[in-house]
Amino acid sequence: MRKNIVAGNWKMNNDLAQTQELIADLKKQVSADPAATIIVAPTYTNLYPAFKALKDTPISVAAQNMHQNANGAFTGEISAAMLKSVGVETVILGHSERRAYFKESNELLAEKVNTALENDMTVIFCFGEELEDRKADKHFDLVQSQLKESLYHLSKESWKNIILAYEPVWAIGTGETASPEQAQEMHAFIRKSVADAYGSEIAEEVSILYGGSCKPGNAKEIFANKDVDGGLIGGASLKAEDFLAIVNSF
Ligand code: 13P
């Protein structure tokens, strides 16, 4: 059975004290048996304190990025083994901000996905079109090539450690969310694409999250769609009350 998942991408926000405060609020307010699997992704410097503080709670910790190599002369980078050594088993890869500002290509992301999976990590793989692609009616083709070039070399077995996150770039941080119909249309397309590549059993098992201006006020109608299995939340994940309201939208 595929899982409902709500993940908070904290991006480059919150120093140590602010991270500890947000985690304390989350711990106070989270139910013992939440409606969805909950993941939060603090900055690298706050991963270990977050892992320690959330250890015996229903909330797990993910990293926002990772390098594809095991170690070596890659100044400023962090490896899979380093993440695992501080308790982090999940990594977000392919976020549109990494693609846009750090020029991460589909090919590079394929390498990062391989490295994460070789290290028994779970990958939250992000992808999605820009506004121009949608206006030119190229959004389905673009999403198809992002999936194909970064993921479709994987074995069937690997898919149990993949979570997909469709994030239309025009909806990220803009306050403009995809309509429930637009989200369902794309999520159904994604599931069909996975089914065509790997068969319907794997396609039915993979969780497909929506990301882009998801808030307590719109989460319920987005999550109500049959192919939307949760959300990857940016801005609204920085306030415990809002984030947990989104978790409770199932
Ligand atoms: P917002 O929820 O702030 O639009 O960000 C979405 C996102 O990029 C999550 O990864």
Per-residue model confidence as pLDDT tens digits over 129-171: 999 999 999 999 999 999 999 999 999 999 999 999 999 999 9
Is pLDDT above 90 for 245? yes
Residues making up the annotated binding site are 9-11, 173, 213, 234-235
Mean pLDDT of the chain: 97
| Cα(118)–Cα(140) distance, integer angstroms | 30
Taking CA atoms, 162 is separated from 95, 158, 195, in Å, by 14, 7, 14
**95 flagged as catalytic:** yes
Q: Check residue 157 and give its pLDDT.
A: 97
Nearest to 91 by CA among 117, 56, 65: 65
Per-residue model confidence as pLDDT tens digits over 175-210: 888 999 999 999 999 999 999 999 999 999 999 999
Q: Ligand 1: distance of its center to the CA of 175 in Å?
A: 10
**Active-site choice (95, 129, 139, 187):** 95
Q: Check residue 1 and give its pLDDT.
A: 81
Please tell me the CATH superfamily of domain 5-248, with its number.
Aldolase class I (3.20.20.70)
| Cα(135)–Cα(125) distance, integer angstroms | 24
**Active-site choice (89, 97, 104, 167):** 167
**pTM of the complete model:** 0.98
Is pLDDT above 90 for 217? yes
Per-residue model confidence as pLDDT tens digits over 76-105: 999 999 999 999 999 999 999 999 999 999
Whether 230 is in the pocket of ligand 1, judged by its Cβ within 6 Å, is: no
